[in-house]
Amino acid sequence: MKMKLCSIYIVFGLIALQFIPLSTIVHAQQAKDSCNSTLPLKDFTLDSSLLQCVEAWSLQNFILRYAKTVDNTWTFILSVPDSSAYIGIGFSTNGRMVGSSAIVGWITTDSRRGEAKQYSLKGRSPDDVTPDQGDLKIINGSLKIESVSSRLYMSFQLTAELPRQNLIYALGPAGFFPSSPDFRLRVHRSVTTTTINYNIGPTMSPGPAQAPETKPSQPPIIPSSGYGLSPSLFFFGIISLVALKFH
């Protein structure tokens, strides 16, 4: 009887696996990016081989690509897992958020409409973070954000002899998106600061400590079940193991 019950559970689990979309299983792999990955942007006209690349925030899989394309023109592409939140990159003179200018982007989950803006970080409260202000000289029409294979790619071009080397990366609260008319930001869920040397390429080092302006980094955003497998797959796997135990 136990042998028969065991066989039924295993067969039932295998049949159920046939109805689980492969996209669910490979979702985690699609959301991963690295400096060895091919840039998947179709409308990107710059030769991607010219881009330097750094693992800007390994805990959250933030990847930054950049290049000096012509005199005083710099191209940046920030690649981040799409966790239904805003993403931001700030350029600071001293490694602190207050007084810096940031570029923040998001794609809403309902309309999948992308939006990206420059913000002036004048203080620590949301009321002190002003949209459409800042001292970054962004080339008109270069600022955009798009979603490709479960990742957000925010790209822009700056006019500068040398961009600020103190960079701040932020991840907003899940499920919140700035909206019209004020496009105010809520306090980020996680943030980190790094320093980059543009002249020698991908050399990163931790920036200065900036508590109380920062929050401890949260664990990386991962799928709801381990190894990128769907909950259904784990459920039937557990059933099979339990059945084998009673065999």
In angstroms, the CA 240 to CA 215 distance is: 42
Q: How many of the other CB atoms lie within 10 Å of CB of 73?
A: 15
3-state helix, strand, coil in the chain (%, to 5): 20, 30, 45
Whether domain 50-225 has CATH 3.40.50.720: no
pLDDT digits (tens, 9 = 90+) for 176-233: 999 999 999 999 999 999 999 987 654 444 443 333 333 434 444 333 333 344 444 4
Higher pLDDT, 61 or 27: 61
User: For the segment 117-131, what is each residue's pLDDT rounded down to a tens digit?
Assistant: 999 999 888 889 999
Cα gap 150→32, rounded to integer Å: 9
Residue among 75, 68, 35, 63 at smallest CA distance from 157: 75
Please provide the size of the chain in residues.
247
Q: Tell me, what amino acid is at 30? A: Q
Euclidean distance between CA atoms 56 and 79, whole angstroms:
10
Average pLDDT over residues 86-114: 94
DSSP state of 58: G
Q: What is the pLDDT of residue 43?
A: 83
Angle at CA 221, nearest 5°, toward 217 and 223? 155
User: Residue 187: exposed, middle, or buried by beta-carbon count in 10 A (0-12, 13-18, 19+)?
Assistant: middle
Would you list the domain boundaries of the chain? 2-20+230-245, 50-225
